[in-house]
């Protein structure tokens, strides 16, 4: 994770320097990068909730869900996040928010209908681990560079500023350079961010297993959710796939082959293997403890 973050930081610096050299305006670059960063960092939770049709629910409406979150937060000694539910049949859950004091944990109604209480506790412990370890903020910051690079590629491609008869040779060279640098940065950051995301998912599984003391329940939830997602119609999965990085398990409907290297999550086999090792270590008899 340290190496990945270092490489992302190095890429970030190189990208900003390249933009300043090419656009010949450090002020324009700073304003653009700063505005996009603030928007993505401060409003990521609202954007995610809106996109995935989540709504905040009170204790009176979902008392059992709130009770599980209360218990896990007390064990982990962390502030309770906002609890939300998404009216989606696809079984899944996600956490979002810039820090533990401004976080949301959301589950779908499809997940609530399918899981046993111990399995639901494992899933919620996984999501609370993301919150406690600030994974949402880490991934948001890490992905910011790729978002900027992607936007610049799209803007440059569609913008009329660089098109038409007004484009001279110098402008064309700048256009090509910005496009080339942005495309390269986007491609490299795409791979690095997914590697980072896969590690954080394994870390969240590990922390959840220790928090609940029942890694087998989390393994059962993973198996059940992955199997049920495979039966969700493809057209419904396509709608959700843009938000795979947020989910407990990706909405792919199948185990990845070579595309596992481009996935935001480890394979089901990798996650179950890790939980199996933790189960052997704990003997499934350990009492729930504080997440590491």
Distances from the Cα of 138 to the Cα of 4, 84, 96, 107, 133, angstroms: 12, 22, 11, 21, 9
56, 83, 49: which is closest to 68 by C-alpha?
A: 83
- Measured between alpha carbons, how far is 122 from 116 in angstroms, rounded to an integer? 10
**Helix count and strand count (H, E) for the chain:** 10, 4
The radius of gyration computed from the CA coordinates of the chain, to the nearest angstrom, equals 21
- Measured between alpha carbons, how far is 116 from 143 in angstroms, rounded to an integer? 34
- Measured between alpha carbons, how far is 26 from 92 in angstroms, rounded to an integer? 43
- The answer to whether 164 touches 186, Cβ cutoff 8 Å, is no
SS3 content of the chain, % helix, strand, coil (to 5): 70, 10, 25
For the record, the structure tokens of 257 come out as 């082959």
- The answer to whether 210 is annotated as binding is no
Backbone φ and ψ for 22, nearest 5 degrees, come out as: -75, -40
For the record, the structure tokens of 16 come out as 């900003």
- Measured between alpha carbons, how far is 215 from 274 in angstroms, rounded to an integer? 9
- Measured between alpha carbons, how far is 142 from 164 in angstroms, rounded to an integer? 36
- The answer to whether 66 touches 59, Cβ cutoff 8 Å, is yes
Residue that is written with structure tokens 């270092």 in the block: 6
- The answer to whether 133 is annotated as binding is no
Q: Which of 87, 127, 255, 281 is catalytic?
A: 127
Q: Is 127 a catalytic residue?
A: yes
* Residues marked as catalytic: 127
Q: Which residues are annotated as a binding site for Zn(2+)?
A: 126, 130, 201
């Amino acid at each position: 994770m340290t190496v990945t973050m270092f490489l992302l930081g190095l890429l970030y610096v190189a990208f900003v320097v390249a933009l300043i050299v090419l656009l010949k305006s450090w002020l324009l670059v700073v304003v653009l990068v700063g505005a996009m960063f603030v928007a993505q960092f401060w409003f990521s939770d609202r954007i995610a909730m809106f996109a995935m049709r989540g709504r905040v629910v009170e204790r009176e409406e979902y008392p059992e869900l709130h009770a599980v979150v209360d218990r896990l937060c007390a064990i982990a000694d962390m502030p309770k996040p906002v609890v939300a539910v998404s009216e989606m049949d696809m079984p899944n859950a996600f956490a979002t928010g810039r820090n533990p004091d401004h976080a949301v944990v959301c589950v779908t109604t499809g997940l609530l209908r399918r899981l046993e209480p111990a399995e639901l506790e494992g899933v919620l412990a996984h999501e609370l681990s993301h919150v406690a370890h600030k994974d949402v903020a880490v991934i948001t910051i890490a992905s910011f560079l790729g978002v900027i690079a992607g936007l610049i590629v799209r803007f440059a491609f569609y913008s009329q500023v660089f098109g038409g008869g007004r484009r001279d040779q110098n402008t064309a060279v700048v256009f090509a350079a910005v496009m080339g640098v942005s495309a390269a940065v986007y491609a490299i950051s795409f791979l690095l961010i997914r590697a980072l995301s896969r590690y954080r998912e394994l870390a969240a599984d590990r922390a959840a297993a220790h928090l609940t003391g029942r890694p087998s329940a989390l393994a059962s939830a993973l198996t059940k959710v992955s199997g049920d997602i495979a039966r969700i119609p493809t057209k419904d999965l396509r709608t959700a796939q843009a938000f795979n990085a947020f989910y407990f398990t990706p909405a792919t409907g199948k185990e990845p082959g070579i595309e596992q290297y481009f996935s935001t999550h480890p394979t089901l086999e990798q996650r179950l293997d890790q939980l199996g090792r933790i189960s052997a270590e704990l003997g499934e008899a350990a009492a729930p403890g504080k997440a590491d």
